[in-house]
Amino acid sequence: MSQFIQQLLNGLFLGSIYALIALGYTMVYGVLRFINFAHGDVFMLGAFTGLYLNKLMGPILAALPWPVAILIVLVLSMAICAALGILIEWLAYRPLRDKPRLNVLITAIGVSLLIEYTGQLVFGATQQPFPAIIPKVNVGGLGGLTVTMTQVIVSVTAVALMIGLRFIVMKTKMGMAMRALSLNPTASSLMGVNNSVVISFTFGLGSALAAAGGILYASLYPSIEPFMGILPGLKAFVAAVLGGIGNIPGAALGGLIIGVTETLVAGYSDVLGIPSGYRDGVAFVILILILLFKPSGLLGKVEREKV
Amino acid sequence: MPTLAAMFSPRSFASLTALAGALVISFTGCKKEGSNANADEIVIGEVAAMTGGTATFGTSSHAGTQMAIDEINAAGGLLGKKLKLITEDDQSKQGEAGTVAKKLISREKIVALLGEVASGRSLEMAPICQKAGIPMISPASTNPKVTETGDFIFRVCFIDPFQGTVMAKFAMSRGWKKVAILTDTKQDYSVGLAQFFKEYFAKNGGTITGEQSYGSGDKDFKAQLTAIKAGAPDAIFASGYYNETGLIAAQARELGITAPLLGGDGWDSPSLVEVAGKAIEGSFFSNHFSNEDQSPKIQEFVKKFQAKHGKTPDAMAALGYDSAMILADAMKRAGTTEGKALRDAIAATKDFDGITGKITLDEKRNANKSAVVLTIKDGKFSFVESLAP
């Protein structure tokens, strides 16, 4: 039993990061109706920004207590990646705004490859160890269960960011504009919403979340490389579709479900008869099943194409 | 049809010039390509993982190989010619190794191929070399299937049945009776090594408490490790490469697993310690050589390598060096670089005094050598014991 709970915890921690990345996918889809495939690469850039910030400000960070240090690294790289996200949108997607959606989708794949290979050129192709900003200690008092400080910080940060996002979308003017844009871009611009600003803001916000995800992921799995964003990015995409693409709580739920499912599959491979190496396949089997039986996702609304 | 005036307009003129330029370039290109085959150079190909998931293997083995080639050239070359090494990067990717090997053979007209470290990628290149009649020497692929491909395929390292047995014997000698196994199912090397370890260990009274697997590039091993922990093993045999092993060690310690990890030569990279930190201390792996070995030959190699690259050589560097030296030795004995004669000369290699030991190639084209067991102590690989075949 304790093994099962341990596996469940492992899955939830992994899932909370998928959830963070999935939020970015879902937000951009909600506002612009297209999948930003470069999102996973912004996640990678977030991790590398964290690494370089840590190298740059090493002595200063070491002098500070670690919660302050991680907060500084997190906030700074979120800001840098938000700027990068806005830049990407401005350079690659804005010129295509009135073009068919397929053009933007293919451009997104191009942007993704561009970032990955530029990353390989700039950062080098080998894995680099990510510095342990969060002390490596186990949280006690849980019986036979082991939970590390890193895992606790990761999930607390993830939940805090999700609540923050919910607040921005539901309670602020900008959030209202985002929702208006998502409902009907033409109408919202007629009502005085500056669509360009809202779209830039959405990209900035999504990229900031991806960057946070990148740093949290790198803290959990401290070996980073330019292609680290591909698989988590794809899984987060599946999570977003699973929860109902465009739906923010859905993306969070989808992320947790993917994380838990793949952990359980890997952990109970001998019972299930599926080799644990197939854990990645599970996420995509879920994607296929969802598309077959409930294309709108768990929390998504059925949308009819207007003819 | 453009008018005469239009043909001499600046724009057409520019495109004509560009066309002429392209023609000149393509002609010189042809000439250069042709000269590769018959100039006063012997062209040797090398395929190495210079980038990607096992990049330190490629960069190390390439550094060793290049050092050997440079030394031979400095001493006047071979058969009255200079050696030229053309290295291609396969990006640690399955599928890429075969492509670049084909390119080396058809475009660069190489006389022999050195490489790959990873067995999975050597297995891609081997049938291509066999078919083309180009001798191939792998510096460090330990999976038996590699040289079974055909009589043009050689290696200068020991093979996994031996390496797996060494680690199984080592575990027994330490009194570890219960061992869990963690395999990288995407790597032929890892699967083979684990299988040979298991065979010997189970036959001699050991118990396998659990078998788990993952795929190269995975980062999360908590699920597998939690399952392994439930079996309470004395040790964990993690037969994958260094990159994942570093993360496995770190996550095992986080989950409160204190059993040491055991592995093969795929661990041999400074990256292992960088990623795992303290978590990998006290674990053991088998390897081809130890740079702590005080024999003068090894120490001279270590010194030369350090002077050139500013770091101590690992086993991949030593094997890369040995593979090039054995090829050169065979060329000298054969007196030619023709495929079949060269193959026969390599096959006849006997008691070659290499950095990684005395190398004799057996009838299966494998090197028979002893292995060393290393442990990680204070972030360094230190010698524990040597086990003869």
Domain residue ranges in chain B: 4-37, 39-158+293-370, 161-287
Q: Give the pLDDT confidence score for residue B46 in this predicted structure.
A: 94
Tally Cβ neighbours within 10 Å of residue A202.
26
Give me the residue spans of the domains in chain A: 17-229
Q: Is the CB of B254 less than 8 angstroms away from the CB of A136?
A: yes
Pick from A13, A51, A221, A271 the residue to mutate for testing the B interface (most B CBs within 10 Å): A221
Q: Give the pLDDT confidence score for residue B339 in this predicted structure.
A: 87
In the structure, what pLDDT confidence band is assigned to residue A278 with cuts at 50, 70 and 90? confident
Q: Which residues of B touch A273 (CB under 8 A)?
A: none
Contact B53, B243 (CB under 8 A): yes
Does residue A149 surpass a pLDDT of 50? yes
The dihedral built from the CA positions of residue A190, A195, A196 and A201, taken in this order, carries a sign that is: positive
Strand, helix or coil at A274?
A: coil
Q: Is the CB of B215 less than 8 angstroms away from the CB of A277?
A: yes
Q: Give the pLDDT confidence score for residue B3 in this predicted structure.
A: 44
Contacts of B30 (CB under 8 A, 6+ apart): none
- Tokens 């990873």 belong to B118
Q: Give the pLDDT confidence score for residue B162 in this predicted structure.
A: 87
Choose the closest CB to B256 out of A125, A146, A270: A146
Tally Cβ neighbours within 10 Å of residue B165.
20
What mean pLDDT is predicted for residues A196-200?
Answer: 90
Q: Which residues of A touch B275 (CB under 8 A)?
A: 127, 129, 222-223
Contact A242, B178 (CB under 8 A): no
Q: Confirm whether B39-158+293-370 and B161-287 share one CATH topology.
A: yes
Contacts of B58 (CB under 8 A, 6+ apart): B48, B49, B50, B51, B89, B90, B92, B117
Q: Give the pLDDT confidence score for residue B245 in this predicted structure.
A: 93
Does residue A46 surpass a pLDDT of 90? yes
Choose the closest CB to B51 out of A10, A125, A275: A125
Contacts 24+ apart (CB under 8 A), A28-33: A28/A202, A28/A203, A28/A206, A29/A240, A29/A245, A29/A246, A30/A178, A30/A182, A30/A245, A30/A246, A30/A247, A30/A248, A31/A178, A31/A181, A31/A182, A31/A198, A31/A199, A31/A202, A32/A93, A32/A104, A32/A199, A32/A202, A33/A101
Could you tell me which CATH class the domain B161-287 is placed in? alpha beta
Choose the closest CB to A223 out of B186, B246, B254: B246
| Average model confidence (pLDDT) across chain A | 86
Strand, helix or coil at B385?
A: strand
Q: Which CATH number fits domain B39-158+293-370: 3.30.470.20, 3.40.50.300, 3.10.310.30, 3.40.50.2300?
A: 3.40.50.2300
Summarize pLDDT for A63-116 with one digit per residue, the tens: 888 888 888 899 999 999 999 999 999 999 989 888 888 888 899 999 999 999
Q: Is the CB of A125 less than 8 angstroms away from the CB of B55?
A: yes
CA gap B207, B209 in Å, rounded: 6
DSSP A306: P
- Tokens 């490629």 belong to B58
Q: Give the pLDDT confidence score for residue A59 in this predicted structure.
A: 80
Contacts of B363 (CB under 8 A, 6+ apart): none
CA A27 to chain centre: 11
Tally the residues of chain A: 307
Q: Give the pLDDT confidence score for residue B72 in this predicted structure.
A: 92
Q: Is the CB of B226 less than 8 angstroms away from the CB of A10?
A: yes
- Contact of B16 with chain A, judged by CB distance below 8 Å, is answered with no
Contacts of A298 (CB under 8 A, 6+ apart): A242, A243, A244, A250, A253, A254, A290
Nearest to B113 by CA among B79, B81, B91, B90: B90
Q: Give the pLDDT confidence score for residue B104 in this predicted structure.
A: 92
Tally Cβ neighbours within 10 Å of residue A170.
11
CA gap A207, A196 in Å, rounded: 16
Q: Give the pLDDT confidence score for residue B24 in this predicted structure.
A: 45
Neighbour-count burial of B178, counting CB atoms closer than 10 A to its CB (0-12 exposed, 13-18 middle, 19+ buried): middle
Low-confidence ranges of chain B (pLDDT < 70): 1-39, 389
Pick from A8, A117, A123, A126 the residue to mutate for testing the B interface (most B CBs within 10 Å): A126
What mean pLDDT is predicted for residues A276-288?
Answer: 83
